[in-house]
Chain A
């Protein structure tokens, strides 16, 4: 399976600021996904990021709030903009192994907004 790293692993931020989360994979992948896991909840997909095209956002998530970059086949960033305490969550990136129809997850970023 792919080795996935995320930075930062955790952060505490003030409301109104923005945080960019990085996701790095040790192999080239076509599709990367960003999920949000609110406290005590399940995972919800924010958006799908393909290299070379605009990210596709799920209902309830907008580009102005969660801009995503995908500059190459091993890297992606998710920015959480103009944060409020409701954005406090774990943010996870995942990558697809298309040949085996599997998704593997990064270790997650725990975000706390005060």
Chain B
């Protein structure tokens, strides 16, 4: 079974600075997807970024980028120029595609609570 580990329960960063959230995972699969979701106090789960395991290039989405190290099974999220609105719980998640198409469930880490201070 797949497991996802986020070792930082809480982090804080000053506005406009850069912060990196860590995530490691365990799987025997070769083809899979990794995600970072953001959950602000409104509790809405918002997709931040996605990485396909077969792509070596790290995914980027505006101020958000990942450092994907497949051999090390590491998937960290870097937030540049942090904004107050980035304050939220951040969940790392793993998903295995179904062989016949579609996808399986998301397996989530326990989350990292990020606070951006003014």
Contacts and interface: CB of A to CB of B under 8 A. Distances in A.
A44 B52 CA distance: 22
Contacts of A1: 47
The A interface, classified by DSSP as helix, strand, loop or mixed, is strand
Contact of A42 (B42, B43, B52, B110): B110
Contact of A105 (B45, B97, B105, B109): B45
A108 B37 CA distance: 15
A104 B47 contact: yes
Nearest to B91: A42
A90 B105 CA distance: 18
Interface string B90-104: 010001010001110
A96 B102 contact: yes
B32 to A, nearest CB: 9
Contacts of B105: 33, 45, 48, 58
Contact of B108 (A43, A90, A96, A107): A43
B19 to A, nearest CB: 20
Contacts of B43: 37, 90, 107-108, 110
Interface string A73-114: 000000000000000001010101010011111011010000
